[in-house]
Structure 1
Amino acid sequence: MNEIHSIDHFNLWSFDLNLLVAFDALMQDRSVTQAASRLKIQQPAMSHNLSTLRLLFQDELFVRVGQSMQPTPRAHMLGPPIQQILAQAHKALISTDTFEPSMETRTFRIGFSSELEVLLMPELAALLRKSAPGIKLLARSANPEQVHRMLDEGVIDLGVGCYSKGGTRHRHRHLFEQSLMCCYNRSLLPLDGPLDRDTYLGLEHVLVSQKDAIEGCLDSALDRLGVKLNVAMAAPEFLTVLAAAKTAPLVATLPTRIIRRYAPTFGLAESPVPLDLEVNPIAMVWTAHSDREPAAEWLRTQVAASIDAVAT
């Protein structure tokens, strides 16, 4: 059985644990006067502590021999375990949680929305291989409707993406603003130069969506402008969206960083989005109870450092 389950909390509650401190002081000093001085209390109070200890343990514990108080056999038996208890309590009270990344071996689970996984994880992995080789990372898909529940249930340790603040039990840190671009296969859509508004709205589209709405995270932004896109296809992964734009006459609208990094790989032409679309910024979210945990603080610091590399 786990030892903590065998503790009689009621009896401990009724027992003044300060008496153990008094007992240890008497064991150290063998004098009521000196033990009182050590504890910065009056001698009558120490004498009262000794009387209470004698009553509780049904033993004299300390008897006067000449000028000192000598421990009885029962006191000698009690001395080492009581000193160990007090030493452990003292260590627990003065110690602070520490996290030494270069020595740690553990797995952090990070939830991502959309493209942040592929942008952040390579940078983060490279950074940690240098400073924390024992740390492992597990990326999880976490859409904005699920991320706070996943944090509450301990499914993930941190969320990075276009996430809201959540409730009072969550913490939130803005990382950077997002912008959008679009791309298409010029051999399937023979268009020159930046797309204008009418052309963009008249084409068929492929978008990232991690929810039931086919317009994905753009639905609110499009509603604010009072426009609709003819969305022929939506998928949760941006690589699927780019592959669709390469093989079908579709326009893919994605975050600027994804377009600039991956559109050339797919042989796609780039264009600014000819709409003033307001999209949610990228943020970190985590639980309030992990706010001051050294390991969690360290992880957020590493994510912020990696974000600096991909957000410029």
Structure 2
Amino acid sequence: MHSRVDLNLFVVLQAIYTEGTITAAAHRLCLTQPAVSHALGRLRGILQDPLFERHGRKMVPTTRCHLIIPQVNSALKQLHSSVAEPIPINLEQVTRTINVGLRDITEVVLLPALQQKVLAYAPGLSIHSSHSPLSSLSHSLEQGEVAIAVDAMVPAGKDILHKRVRRENFVVLCRPQHPARRGMSQDAYTSAQHVLVSMKHSEVNHVDMALAQTGLRRHISLTCEHYMAAAQLAASNDLILTLPAVYAREIVRSVKVEVVPLPVKIPPLPVHMYWHRATDNDPVLTQVRQWIADIVTQPF
């Protein structure tokens, strides 16, 4: 027996045995008839047996072929299962650090529920959260700096996979004594002084892009990187903050601001989860992605 055998030869053997003719086997395998005949010839040489005898158009298996075909079928089935089926893993025994990319308020919303899952099912996992700017998100995932990210929809590299997990509506936050708080109009909104949350080097501003499409503009008086800081500014000044409603619900628990309906039409913000194609079949990351998706798709 040769020490190195092309496993594809046994795929051909199985097809001929099952189909009964070279023509049918070639059709099943999407090969030419000469290619199938050549593969059979090679396997005959390796096994030192004709394997099939031709009777008219029919290929009749030899005794040796009948004897080995159960083993061939079993081996090919096992090989197929090893590729097609997910690798079983005991999460309780996994020790690993997983880096996730989240904005500050997303951490507040997501991490408590995620940590409950980790403690219950995978106590050896450590979750490390930091924010990756949208402009460098693809790079962070490609370099393995972040395994999973949750953020606004952004063009990503061909090897970056993603799925939409939420659609966020916008509201306004302002101090209770803000002069435009009651019945805020479109004019009052656009003429007000705004605080904008924007990460360094971020090129995406969903609100201002939507306003521009309707011919509107607002005045950005101050820009900062964190929603909690922006909310504190709105609480102590006549600045107003436009933000996703889910963030607002978290902020009003600790900052003295009020939620005001947005008086202009802004489309909901698509929020996506991102990961690199190379980690798509990682069983641990697959489970963590599922936990994150389950959490963020629920109403907050």
TM-score normalised according to structure 2 size: 0.69
Q: 1:215 to 1:250 in 2, by over 3 A?
A: farther
Q: CA deviation at 1:264?
A: 4.5
Match of 1:131 in 2: 121
Quote the residue 1:17 is aligned against. Answer: 4
**Deviation at residue 44 of structure 1 after TM alignment:** 8.9
CA distance in 1, matches of 2:296, 2:252: 21
Q: Give the counterpart of 1:243 among 222, 225, 232.
A: 232
Partners of 1:184 and 1:204 lie apart in 2 by 11
Aligned-residue sequence identity (percent) comes to: 19
CA contact (8 A) 1:221 1:279 kept: no
Residue 267 (str. 1) matches residue 256 (str. 2): yes
Partner amino acid for 2:198? S
Q: Which residue of 1 aligns with 2:131?
A: 141
1:73-126: per-residue Cα shift (whole Å, max 9, x none)?
xxxxxxxxxxxxxxxxx99x9596333222211111111245322221122112
Q: Tell me the SS of whatever aligns to 1:281.
A: strand
Deviations 1:250-275 (A, max 9, x none): 11111101112222531212111111
- Residue in 1 that maps onto 2:182: 193
1:120 alignment counterpart? 110
State the match for 1:258 in structure 2: 247
Which shows bigger deviation, 206-215 or 296-305? 206-215
Q: Deviations over 1:33-75 (max 9, x none)?
A: xxxxxxxx8899469xxxxxxxxxxxxxxxxxxxxxxxxxxxx
Which of 149, 154, 158 is residue 159 of structure 1 equivalent to?
149
Task: Map 1:196-235; keep pairs closer than 5 Å.
Answer: 196-212=185-201, 216-235=205-224
Shift of 1:216: 3.9
Q: Quick one: structure 1 residues 125 and 272, their matched pair in 2 at CA, closer, same or farther if it must change by over 3 Å?
A: same
- Counterparts in 2 of 1:120 and 1:264: CA distance versus 1, 3 Å: closer
Distance 1:303 1:117 in 2: 11
1:227 deviates by: 1.5
CA displacement at 1:276 relative to structure 2: 0.8
For the Cα contact (< 8 Å) 2:199–2:225, is it kept in 1?
yes
Amino acid at match of 2:136: Q
Alpha-carbon displacement from aligned partner over 1:166-214 (angstroms, at most 9, x marks no partner): 2321211111111110111123x23452311111112101121114579
1:294 aligns with 2:277: no
**5+ residue gaps, structure 2:** 6-42, 50-77
Work out the number of aligned pairs and report it: 232
Closer, same or farther in 2 for the Cα pair 1:43/1:245, shift >3 Å?
Answer: closer
What is the CA-CA distance between 1:237 and the residue it aligns to?
Answer: 0.8
In 2, the alpha carbon distance for the partners of 1:246 and 1:44 equals 82
Amino acid at match of 2:263: P
- Shift of the 192–222 alpha-carbon distance from structure 1 to 2, 3 Å rule, reads closer
Counterparts in 2 of 1:215 and 1:246: CA distance versus 1, 3 Å? farther
Between the aligned partners of 2:46 and 2:156, the Cα distance in structure 1 is 57
- Counterpart CA distance in 1 for 2:265 and 2:252 is 21
State the one-letter code of the partner of 1:148.
S
- Give 1:17's aligned amino acid: R
1:173-184 matches, cutoff 5 A: 173-184=163-174
Q: CA RMSD in A?
A: 2.9
**Change in CA separation of 1:202 and 1:295 when aligned onto 2, cut-off 3 Å:** same
**Distance apart, 1:218 and its partner CA:** 2.6
Q: 1:210 to 1:43 in 2, by over 3 A?
A: closer
Residue in 2 that maps onto 1:280: 269
Letter in 1 for 2:101: G
Relative distance call for 1:114 and 1:273 in structure 2 (3 A) is: farther
Distance of aligned partners of 1:215 and 1:17 in 2 relative to their CA distance in 1, 3 Å threshold? closer
Task: Give the greater-gyration-radius structure (CA).
Answer: 1
TM-score for the superposition, normalised by structure 1: 0.66
Find the counterpart in structure 2 of residue 10 from structure 1: none
Deviations 1:205-258 (A, max 9, x none): 112111457994433222222221111111111111111111111111111011
8 Å CA contact retained: 2:163, 2:272: yes
2:197 & 2:203 partners in 1: Cα distance? 8
Point out where structure 1 has 5 or more consecutive residues left out of the alignment.
1-14, 19-40, 48-89
Please state whether the residue corresponding to 1:231 is helix, strand or coil: strand
Pair 1:304-2:289 in alignment? no
